[in-house]
Amino acid sequence: MTKDKVICKTVIVDDDEKSRILLIKLLRKHSQVKIVGEADSMSSALKVIKATEPNSIFLDVKLENETGFKLLNKLPSNLKIIFVTANSDFAMQAFEVNALDFVKKPIKKDRLGRAVNRLIDDLALSSEEVLKSFDEKNKSYEEGNVNSMDDISKKVYTTKNINSHKLEYDDRLFLTKNGSSKFIKVSSIHSITANKDYSYIHSLDEKKIIMLRTMKEWEKRLPEKFFARIHRSTIVNLEYIEKVEKWFNYSFHVYIQGVDSPYQMSRRYASKLKEKFK
């Protein structure tokens, strides 16, 4: 069995040595994660990050007499941040500064695993987007549409975060499940269901892959021509709908190819779905 390629180079910043040791132990179970450094303060963190050039950081909110939030303005803008803290009061502030995730202490193995999967997924997709953009700019350069390769580089490395990237039906998603990564065709996704801030991708290739993505995020990214939200917790691929039946109280049952039980569609979303077929 071949070893998974390292995608995540990370630094752990926590002023509690026991917490760092535990986190290192848990992260080493993920073959695609490489710990390139650790620090116990803001000053030491900056030195380690400058020396190792990681693409991510696991950051405790409280560092000595300061907070990890003060460190953010001094970090590279493309660095993925996962906050790790015992105080859940900081969760909202963490997401306001565009942190990728927020893991509460004491750290639970499964919860950390989901955060790592999201990190690997995000880094892989960002890398894929940069390469795609570079190929497009390189082609333009060869055709004489840009002045220099310097112009190309500037455009490539200021690419917007992948979360705002609009997907095409023939695109592929780079997803992680049980420590292994693979490409999933967008066209193979027959439905996406939600549980709070998490979503489950159901496709022809995989039964279920969990991601820390909301339904609103998926609605923004998925091609509207093929995907529709039929419930607050369900998005379906229109090409996989086998039939729609009336149910009680003006709601409907939507039967999807490859899914044993039908999904419920509310009256509100039924009206929106009808608009797509006019």
Highest mean pLDDT among 61-70, 234-243, 263-272: 234-243
Q: HSE, CB side, 13 Å, CA atoms: give it for residue 235.
A: 26
Q: How deeply is 163 buried, as exposed, middle or buried, from its count of CB atoms within 10 A (0-12, 13-18, 19+)?
A: middle
Token pair 């021509």 is found at 225
The per-residue DSSP string of 131-182 comes to HHHHHHHHHHHHTT-SS-HHHHHHHHTTPPPGGGPPPPTT-EEEEEETTEEE
pLDDT of residue 154 exceeding 70, the answer is: no
β-strands 8-13, 56-60 pairing: parallel
Residue 11: beta bridge partners? Answer: 37, 57
What is the spatial distance between Cα 232 and Cα 239, in angstroms, rounded to a whole number? 20
Q: When comparing pLDDT for 71 and 136, which is higher? A: 71
The pLDDT of residue 123 is: 79
Q: When comparing pLDDT for 108 and 271, which is higher? A: 108
The pLDDT of residue 91 is: 61
The pLDDT of residue 181 is: 60
56-60, 113-117, 127-131, 194-198: which has the minimum mean pLDDT? 127-131
Average pLDDT over the chain, rounded to an integer? 78
Q: When comparing pLDDT for 125 and 215, which is higher? A: 215
Task: Report yes or no on whether pTM surpasses 0.85.
Answer: no
Given a contact cutoff of 8 angstroms between Cβ atoms, the answer to whether 10 and 28 are in contact is no
**What is the average pLDDT across 215-223?**
88
Amino acid at 83: F
